[in-house]
């Protein structure tokens, strides 16, 4: 887990200013399996329960391969859900007929990690932005042009970017184009997959400031997938920690960073340096690599790397327990 030096160590997450605590997204028992050529399957998601309230910024963190991106892609239907339910604005979205699903996807959008790869290299920026409006709206051509110019300006790009192709702009500008393309649809929930990865530190800071400004301007709800705990701490209002396809701890950002209860969360935070040589958490417990996802351990899936493991952990799979206001962890000894 790397630290963004541009983010102050004592930064406080933004406060939600709308929504009144209404659930926008409700996920129950969500599962997805990748089937290998030899017939075996990998449980990339294994019973994820999650509720996202209107107006919040929920961070999804964990090691590479824990299922963060798979969760985001399964939520919007890019990957098929093998089990579980997803309700968006009170409506179950998996299994919807194509017209109804298209209407939902206009309000539930995914911003890919590789913004350049998500843009057609043969299309100008103008055509890429216009395409989404053609598919999802009934706006006239002049209305679409006006919407494109308005949205482009909101992400800090000029109109003279419109005739350019993706390879003619920088990586940071490609991220802005990707944001403009989804914001043009006036969505309610954005799933952001590693929105600052691969960018210079100064560009990361600029993108984060832009995201917070857009969050306020458009009254968005954000699902913020990231491996960078320092960024998550400064941006998110709540955090969910994933390990091997499950959420093992979830709670308000200040509580997760100030009082982590799951040993995996404590191990992740122990890897985050802060100025002066100190650490957020002093104990550095995490050793070795995650288990083979084809052979997930019985009981608690973290037990083979946990210094607190007991015989009970091998036989009983821990379920999330409420430890405080909106703070829960799946650990027998939390």
Quick one: DSSP state of residue 60? E
Span 15-34, pLDDT tens digits: 665 555 568 999 999 999 99
**Mean pLDDT over all residues of the chain?**
87
pLDDT at 126 over 60: yes
Task: Yes or no: say if 230 and 3 are a contact pair by the CB < 8 Å rule.
Answer: yes
Quick one: DSSP state of residue 159? G
What is the pLDDT at residue 276?
A: 56
Backbone angles phi, psi at 121, to 5 degrees: -65, -15
Name the range with the highest mean pLDDT among 180-184, 202-206, 290-294: 180-184
Quickly tell me which residue has 């104990």 as its tokens: 283
Helix, strand or coil for residue 32?
Answer: strand
Task: Yes or no: say if 328 and 321 are a contact pair by the CB < 8 Å rule.
Answer: yes
Task: In whole angstroms, give the CA distance from residue 136 to residue 133.
Answer: 5
Cross-strand partners of 108: 189
> Looking at residues 299-322, what average pLDDT do you find?
92
What is the pLDDT at residue 7?
A: 40
Quick one: DSSP state of residue 259? S
Task: In whole angstroms, give the CA distance from residue 213 to residue 193.
Answer: 18
What is the pLDDT at residue 1?
A: 41
């Amino acid at each position: 887990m790397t630290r963004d030096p541009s983010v102050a160590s004592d930064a406080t997450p933004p406060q939600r200013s709308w929504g009144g605590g209404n659930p926008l997204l409700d996920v129950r028992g969500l599962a997805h399996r990748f089937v290998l050529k030899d017939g075996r399957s990998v449980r990339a998601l294994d019973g994820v329960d999650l509720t996202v309230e209107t107006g919040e910024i929920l961070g999804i963190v964990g090691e590479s391969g824990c299922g963060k991106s798979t969760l985001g892609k399964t939520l919007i239907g890019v990957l098929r859900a093998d089990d579980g339910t997803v309700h968006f604005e009170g409506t179950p979205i998996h299994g919807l007929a194509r017209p109804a699903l298209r209407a939902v996807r206009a309000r539930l959008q995914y911003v890919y990690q590789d913004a350049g790869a998500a843009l057609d290299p043969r299309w100008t920026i103008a055509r890429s932005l216009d395409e989404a409006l053609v598919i999802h709206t009934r706006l006239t051509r002049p209305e679409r042009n006006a919407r494109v110019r308005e949205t482009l300006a909101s992400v800090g790009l000029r109109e003279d970017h419109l005739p350019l192709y993706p390879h003619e702009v920088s990586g940071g500008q490609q991220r802005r184009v990707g944001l403009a393309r989804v914001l043009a649809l006036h969505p309610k929930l954005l799933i952001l997959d590693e929105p600052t990865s691969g960018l210079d530190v100064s560009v990361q800071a600029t993108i984060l400031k832009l995201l917070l400004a857009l969050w306020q301007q458009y009254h968005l709800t954000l699902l913020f997938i990231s491996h960078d705990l320092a960024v998550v701490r400064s941006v998110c209002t709540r955090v969910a920690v994933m390990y091997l396809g499950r959420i093992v701890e979830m709670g308000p950002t200040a509580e997760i960073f100030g009082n982590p209860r799951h040993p995996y969360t404590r191990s992740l935070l122990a890897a985050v340096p802060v100025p002066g040589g100190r650490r957020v958490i002093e104990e550095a417990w995490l050793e070795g690599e995650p288990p083979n996802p084809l052979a997930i351990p019985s009981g608690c899936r973290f037990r083979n790397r946990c210094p607190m493991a007991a015989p009970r952990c091998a036989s009983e799979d821990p379920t999330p327990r409420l430890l405080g206001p909106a703070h829960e962890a799946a650990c027998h000894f939390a």
